[in-house]
Amino acid sequence: MIDETFLTTEEVLEYLQVNLRTVYRLIKAGRIPAIRVGRQWRFRRADLDAWLDGQRRGARVPVPSTAPTRLDGAGRRVLVVDDEESIRELLTKTLAMAEYETQSVPDGRAGLDLLRREAWDLLIADLRMPEMDGLSLIREARRLHPRLPVIIVTGYSTESTAIQAANLGVVGYLVKPFRIPHILGAVARALGEQD
């Protein structure tokens, strides 16, 4: 039996744990399954679950043709630095689906090089990486761009690293494994898009 439960926009905000701006961004980009009912949007829970599952697997899930295919305005630039290819890929695909311009690199030195050469709106860095760890990268990033928002992702969270991250002014701290709504919510908050 198909689940015919429909959610309102407000219910989707709670269900996906993202803000209104992110939901509208995803609808306008044709990335999230939504149905237009008059002046409002409705979301079938089964469609959202299939979409979320497809995003986790990296598959493209068909979206209703009523959604526009492009997003107004340019995306913000996010640099992802993580030595795990699967995490880089998950973050890059997730952020691209929300129309952020994203680039990823496998180590802190490559990340630092990009921070020196290009302007970024957000840095997402793993804590444990070979050669240059995430905290060292963040310290160097702070010297270059003192106001750059930073989110840490880690599979090895300790109280000590959380305190060090807080002392460096990190605005988000995600512990692996994390879900897509957590990623999008943390990015929206870091960029001041969260209501």
For 85-98, what is each residue's pLDDT tens digit? 999 998 988 888 78
Q: What is the dihedral of CA 84, 132, 128, 102, to 10 degrees?
A: -40
Residue with tokens 């002014």: 169
Higher pLDDT, 23 or 140: 140
Superfamily of domain 77-190: Response regulator (3.40.50.2300)
Report residue 25: phi and psi, to 5°.
-60, -45
3-class SS of residue 6: strand
Read off the pLDDT of residues 93-127 as tens digits, 9 standing for 90 and up: 888 878 789 999 999 999 999 999 999 999 999 99
Residue with tokens 């444990």: 128
Rounded CA-CA distance 108/64 in Å is 40
Residue 125 CB coordination number (10 Å): 26
Say which DSSP state 181 is in: H
Segments making up each domain of the chain, as ranges: 6-57, 77-190
Q: Is the pLDDT of residue 54 over 80?
A: no
3-class SS of residue 58: coil
Among the listed ranges 45-54, 60-69, 114-123, which one has the minimum average pLDDT value?
60-69
Residue 15 CB coordination number (10 Å): 15
